[in-house]
Amino acid sequence: MIEQTLMLIKPNAVRDGHIGDIISIIERDGFTIKKMKQMRFDENLAAKFYQEHLGKGFYERLLSFMCSGDSVALLLEKENAIAGLRELMGDVVPEKRKPGTIRALYGADVTENGVHGSDSPESAVREIGIVFVN
């Protein structure tokens, strides 16, 4: 089934000049970019986007990081896009990342992992609405 999902290229990957590299990887994997924008999260937008993590130990660090620089948001489409993107991105935990995944190539640690991707159809709808309405 054709699905849509959201991908964020996070501030560390933008700062390090990897926007084009990451876009090339997702295009080679068959994703279609339906919308794209460069943006900067403010505290309110970051808090709304990451509300499911409120109260977790890493929450404040995550919000601070996401507000630290520009991100690039991509609305992607492909057959089974959500699962496909999550596999292409790789694990959030550095020790569990498979070689060649986006996070293995461009992620620094658990928070500054280079990219975000929606984890379910419900999250994709919510996140796309948050990012592409603003």
**Residue 103 sits in which domain range?**
2-133
The one catalytic residue among 18, 97, 103, 116: 116
CATH number at residue 88: 3.30.70.141
Tokens 């404040």: give the residue: 60
Q: Is 116 a catalytic residue?
A: yes
The total domain count for the chain is 1
Residue 99: pLDDT over 60: yes
Q: How confident is the model at residue 25 (pLDDT cuts 50, 70, 90)?
A: very high
Rg of the chain over Cα atoms, rounded to whole angstroms, equals 14
Residue 134: pLDDT over 80: no
Q: Are strands 2-9 and 70-79 parallel, antiparallel or unpaired?
A: antiparallel
pTM (predicted TM-score): 0.95
87: β partners: none
Helices (H) and strands (E) in the chain, counts: 7, 4
Q: Does residue 36 contact residue 73 with C-beta atoms inside 8 Å?
A: yes
